[in-house]
Amino acid sequence: MDRLQTLLGRLRQCCESFPDKRRGINTTYRIADIAMAAFSVFFMQSPSFLAHQRHLREGHGRSNCESLFGLSKIPSDNHIRDMLDPAAPALLYPVFAEVLAALEQSGGLHAFRRPGDHVLIALDGTEYFCSNKIGCAQCSKRLRANGKTEYYHAMLGATLVAPGHHHVVPLEPEFVSPQDGAEKQDCESRAARRWLAEHGRQYARMNPIYLGDDLFANQPLCEAVLAANGHFLFTCKPASHPLIQEYVTGVKLPSHTVSVKRGRKLFTHRFRWMSGVPLRDTKDALKVNWFEIGVSRKHPQRKERWSCMRDEGGAPRRRQSGAGVKPLQAAVVKSDGGERCSKRRDLIPSGMIRRGERKRTADDVSKCQG
């Protein structure tokens, strides 16, 4: 409880720095109280501002709001929005650092450590507003098939995660919004690069592996991760990475099979991998490590497969084909959850050759890369 009160006190200090546009004596609520009132709605897990106010009137949760936040009542939702809209999100960023520091001091960060003393930071975008009638200068736009324009707000979330762990630690977000001087509309990938440039260095000491879907599996973003002294583990769909698919198709790859029992069901996890695959068809292409995880039952009707890639920093050097190397520990870590790996059921079996291609071996690939 003492640690929680310390963190809430730090949050209140940040809220006191919010801009206050009021003048004169119209200050029934202090700006910090207004911000803490907004936070209390989410902390108490109320479905809405109205429900939160109703519960307070009826006495439910009043003691918690008074003891934790020093509030006996909260302003109306319209007043809270009006007062907090001018506040920049960056004013709250110091609280994220305080939470992480408290986690480290208490030893709680150890539960998030993975093999190799890495931590996993998941990057993903989310929308928190969408309308085809209401829009503002900070809205992104998209044209639907029915001819209507949608206005929406989105953000990139960065979260400290760990397989098998029931809690996550949110880190500073990056908002997807129109950028000054930019000709193209902002997007999730650009937001991720801004986040890495702004925050990547401060998390480099934690030896992070950044997780993301296929949207992040491109050279500019991978280079941004490496520039921030991080590692990456991204989904790698065959359709969006034809060069990588060409390298691994028809090649006899090293593999590793593990049987996993879940209740009465027995599953087979099969790993395949290749090191030193170019990310794109250019001279300056990054070399990445590709791996695939296949999950099947004893008599499967169909198999589920995921394909991912990661930087070369976590794999043995000078083994272009990956021969004789056990599967990356990071691959094993990702085999259970799968939420960051795109399911693919269109895998071309290793024995099949695409039209116009000749059958290759691992030695052929090594010669081509040399």
Domain ranges of the chain: 2-87, 91-235, 242-369
* % of the chain beyond a pLDDT of 90: 49
More confident residue, 160 or 302: 160
pLDDT given at position 16: 92
Model confidence at 114, pLDDT cuts 50, 70, 90, reads confident
Q: What is the pLDDT of residue 44?
A: 80
295 secondary structure, DSSP code: E
pLDDT for position 208: 96
- Regarding predicted confidence, which is higher, 59 or 98? 98
- What CATH topology corresponds to 91-235? Nucleotidyltransferase; domain 5 (3.30.420)
Q: How confident is the model at residue 63 (pLDDT cuts 50, 70, 90)?
A: low
Q: What is the pLDDT confidence band of residue 352, given thresholds at 50, 70 and 90?
A: very low
What pLDDT is attached to residue 346? 39
Q: Which of 78, 64, 53 is nearest to 5 (CA)?
A: 64
What average pLDDT does the segment 76-94 reach? Answer: 91
Q: Which of these, 175, 176, 19, 12, lies nearest to 84 by C-alpha position?
A: 19
The least confident of 3-7, 35-39, 196-200, 210-214 is 3-7
Q: Which of 42, 23, 156 is nearest to 89 (CA)?
A: 156
The predicted structure's pLDDT at residue 364:
41
- The residue ranking higher by pLDDT, 154 or 358, is 154
Annotate 181-212 with b (16+ C-beta within 10 A) or e (fewer): eeeeebebbbbbbbbbeebbeebeebebbbbb
- Per the model's pLDDT, the better-predicted residue between 38 and 301 turns out to be 38
DSSP, collapsed to helix, strand or coil, labels residue 218 as coil
Mean pLDDT check: name the lowest of 63-67, 164-168, 204-208, 316-320. Answer: 316-320
Q: C-alpha distances in angstroms, 259 versus 268, 273, 284, 344?
A: 5, 18, 40, 21
For residue 74, name the pLDDT band (cuts at 50, 70, 90).
confident
Per DSSP, 211 falls in state: E
Contacts for 288 with CB less than 8 Å, ≥ 6 apart: 222, 244, 277, 278, 279, 309, 310, 311, 312
Residue range 149-173: mean pLDDT, rounded: 94
What gap in Å lies between CA 160 and CA 53, rounded to an integer? 32
Residue 336: how many other CB atoms lie within 10 Å: 14
Phi-psi region of 61 (alpha: psi -120 to 50; beta: other; left: phi over 0): left
Output the pTM of the full model: 0.78
Whether 289 shows a pLDDT value over 90: the answer reads yes
Which residue would you say has higher pLDDT here, 347 or 261? 261
> How many whole angstroms separate alpha carbon 159 and alpha carbon 170?
4
Averaged over 205-228, what is the pLDDT? 95
Q: Which residues of 28-46 are buried (b: 16+ CB within 10 A; e: fewer)?
A: ebebbbbbbbbbbbebbeb
Tell me what the pLDDT averaged over the chain comes to: 80
Which 8-state DSSP code applies to residue 114?
B
Tokens 């310390």, residue located:
6
DSSP state of 138: T
Nearest to 36 by CA among 7, 60, 57, 58: 7
CB-count exposure of residue 72 (10 Å: 0-12, 13-18, 19+): exposed
Q: pLDDT above 70 covers what percent of the chain?
A: 79
